[in-house]
Amino acid sequence: MNISYNSHHVEITEPLKNYFEKKLSRLDSYEHLIGKVDVYFSIDSSYVHQVEMEIEFAKWKTLFFTARDTDMYRAIDDLFDRAEKNISRLKARITDHKQQESIRKKAEFLENSNRKDNTVTEINFKEISRKPMAIIDAVHTLSPKKTRDFLFFYNYETNDDITPSLILKLGEKQFLLAEKTKFIDKLKIIKVEKTGFNKIKLSKPKEITLDKKKIDDVLNTTKEDFYFFFNLETENLSLIIKNEENGYKILNILNA
C-alpha cells in the first residue's frame, strides 16, 4: 500500500507512523481496492491536533476523512472509527443489487424522456467537494456570478464523510439546505439566508416525508417552487425546481 506523509508544525516520528499504520491495518480487507493513501498531520494555533487522510480507491471514488482532538493519537483513533464505518457503508451500497437496477432504470428513463418544456438533469457526485466545508463556504460557491444553482458537499458540521448535503439556490440571498436523516424516507430541510458577505441565518430544521410518485404526477399537481420526492421511475430521490419560464428542472439524484 502506497502511503504518503505530510505535516504542518508536527514532527512525523517513527512511533507516530507506526501507530497510524497499525490503525490502517483495520482496513486490510479493502487493501486490494486501495491505490494510495495521503496523510496530513497538523496543529492549529489553539493546539488542537488534526489528522487528515485521503484514500484513492482503484474502482471507487477518492474518499476524504478528518479528525481533531487535543491528542494526536486519539485523533487517529477517531479517524479510523469514522473511516471503517463509512467505507463499510459505501461497499454495502455499491454491492447492493437494487441500486444497480435503479441505475439501469434511471438511464432508461432519461433516454426515453421527451418532455420538451422541462430540463432533466442527472446528478452524479462529481460536484462533491472532497474536503468537508462549512455551509457559508457552500453558499459562496453559489454566488450570483456563478452559473450553478446547486451543490453537493460534505457538511463539516455533521462530521459525515460519506453522505453529502445538498444546497440549492432559490434567489440571490435565499438558499435551501437538504440533508438525509436516519430514516430512508425523510429529509431534513433548512432555509438559509445570506445576511452579509460572510454571514448567514439558518431557519429551524424541518423534517419532511418523501412521497413516492412519478414525475408526471408531480408536474401535474405541485404548485411549489421546489419539491423533493421518491421517484418511482428511477427508484431514487428526485427534486423538481420551478424555473422562470414556468417550466421545471428535474434533478434525478443517483444513489441518494
Query: Which pLDDT band, with edges at 50, 70 and 90, does 243 fall under?
Result: low
Average pLDDT of the chain to the nearest whole number? 78
Q: What is the pLDDT of residue 153?
A: 80
Task: Check whether residue 66 and residue 104 sit in a common domain.
Answer: no
Read off the pLDDT of residues 83-135 as tens digits, 9 standing for 90 and up: 888 888 777 766 655 556 555 555 554 454 444 455 555 555 445 555 678 88
End residue of a domain, out of 45, 72, 94? 94
Task: Check whether residue 67 and residue 101 sit in a common domain.
Answer: no
Residue 3 has pLDDT above 80, yes or no: yes
Task: Check whether residue 105 and residue 76 sit in a common domain.
Answer: no
Q: What is the pLDDT of residue 60?
A: 67
* Whether the model pTM is above 0.85: no
Task: Check whether residue 85 and residue 103 sit in a common domain.
Answer: no
Residue 174 has pLDDT above 60, yes or no: yes
CA dihedral sign, ordered 164, 239, 150, 143: negative
Read off the pLDDT of residues 41-71 as tens digits, 9 standing for 90 and up: 999 888 899 999 998 887 667 888 999 999 9
Task: Check whether residue 86 and residue 104 sit in a common domain.
Answer: no
End residue of a domain, out of 48, 65, 94? 94
Task: Check whether residue 54 and residue 177 sit in a common domain.
Answer: no
Task: Check whether residue 84 and residue 110 sit in a common domain.
Answer: no
Nearest to 129 by CA among 112, 145, 148, 111: 148
In whole angstroms, give the CA distance from residue 239 to residue 242. 10
Task: Check whether residue 89 and residue 182 sit in a common domain.
Answer: no
If one counts the domains in the chain, the total is 2
Read off the pLDDT of residues 142-170 as tens digits, 9 standing for 90 and up: 866 656 777 888 887 776 666 778 888 88
Task: Check whether residue 124 and residue 211 sit in a common domain.
Answer: yes
Q: What is the pLDDT of residue 239?
A: 81
* CATH, residue 8: 3.30.160.100
237: containing domain: 97-253
Task: Check whether residue 113 and residue 65 sit in a common domain.
Answer: no
Task: Check whether residue 60 and residue 150 sit in a common domain.
Answer: no
DSSP β-bridge partners for residue 34: 57
Mean of the pLDDT values across residues 10-35? 88
Q: What is the pLDDT of residue 116?
A: 44
Task: Check whether residue 122 and residue 218 sit in a common domain.
Answer: yes
End residue of a domain, out of 46, 67, 94? 94
Burial call 5-22: b when 16+ CB within 10 Å, e when fewer: eeeeebeeeeebeeebee
Give how far Cα 10 sits from Cα of 7, 79, 110, Å.
Answer: 6, 17, 51
Q: Which residue has the higher pLDDT, 12 or 225?
A: 12
Helix (H) or strand (E) holding 172: none
